[in-house]
Structure formats: structure tokens, C-alpha cells
Amino acid sequence: MAVNGPGLDVTNYSSDCFLAQSVYVWQTSNNFAEAGWYEEDVDITVCTGVSAPHFLAFVRVDGTPGCQSQVGSSSISQAFHGFKLENDNHNMSFTYWLDGNVQVTQDTNFTQGEVFAAAERHVDGDHLGAEFDGLKWLGAAGTWNDWDQLTGHKDSVSWDNVSDFDFCKRSNKHFEIRASC
């Protein structure tokens, strides 16, 4: 799973709680791997609280979360960045990339799954805006392929109503989350 050319827009929204924008490989709600960026002013997950965007390498294996959220000590600059998450050897070990550079590898108990891209917020009023452009998936032959279909889904839950943002499809490999399309 990858997003590049131009990639995923990283913007410092000064979150009140937790924001994440990522691409991920999903087997089940108990088994998935996720790469992108996050900003969290409070510690509500296993990731370290940060007040500016930082690289996110998240994994859940048999329901147990793991996070290697800060690679180095600096935040990610506000710009489009390329993120990639791959298990090209089918060995249950996912490699996380930022702008073409390996950041970390995390072990899982799966080799493949469905591919997704998502913007998350965890409190009403926080910004949900996102832009993903250049979405690709890794095929069985080891070749990167453009997404050939794209649909949007709002996951509204009682503690975080997302009805104030729209899913805006620009192409099969490009979408935005905006206040209105």
C-alpha cells in the first residue's frame, strides 16, 4: 500500500485530541498495519503525545496495538509526503517508508489484506481535512498498481460526528476530505 506522486498532505492542525492520516493493510479489526502521520496532544493510544505532525507506524496483532510513532526526534514538515507500507517477501514483517526511506519494520501475523486510506479525528471540532493523491497497491507479482476503484465511507460514532466533512473523489487514486466538495 502506498501513496506518492504527490502523496499525502501533512498539515499541522493543532489538534485538541488525536488526528491521524494513513494508508493501511487491513485483515481484521484485530490485525492490521498502518503507515502515515499523526498528531496527538494527549496520550490516548500507545503512541507518544506530540503537538506537531510525526511519522506513524502502527500495527495491531491479535488485538494488541503497537506503535513506533517517532522516528528520530523531529516532526514531519508541512508538505506532501510519500508513505509506503509493504510486505513484499510475504513473511509477515511489514516495512514502513517515508519519502522513499525505510523507517521501521514491524512483525505481524498476516501477509496481506484489504487496502485503505483514512483521515481520523477523535473529538468533535478537530479538523478532519486530508488529501491523498497517488494511491497504489502492491500486486502479487511485486509490481505497484494504481488504485482502479475508490469509494468513501464516513464512520460516524457517538463521540465524534464527522458529518461536517465530505469525501471528495477526484479520481480512482486521488481523494480529499473537505468541509464541502
131-180: pLDDT as tens digits: 999 999 988 788 899 999 999 987 766 666 677 788 999 999 999 999 89
The three three-digit cell numbers of residue 53, written as one number: 505532525
In sequence order, the 6+-apart residues with CB closer than 8 A to the CB of 158 are none
Please give the angle made by the CA atoms of 158, 47 and 43, to the nearest 5 degrees: 60
Q: Which letter does DSSP use for residue 128 in this model? A: -
> What's the CATH code of the domain at 11?
2.60.120.700
pLDDT in tens, 75-131: 889 999 999 999 988 899 999 999 999 999 999 999 989 999 999 877 777 778 899
Kindly report the pTM of this predicted structure.
0.87
Q: Count up the domains in the chain and report the number.
A: 1
Identify the domain containing residue 73 by its residue range.
2-178
pLDDT in tens, 33-89: 999 998 876 555 556 667 788 888 889 999 988 876 554 446 889 999 999 999 988
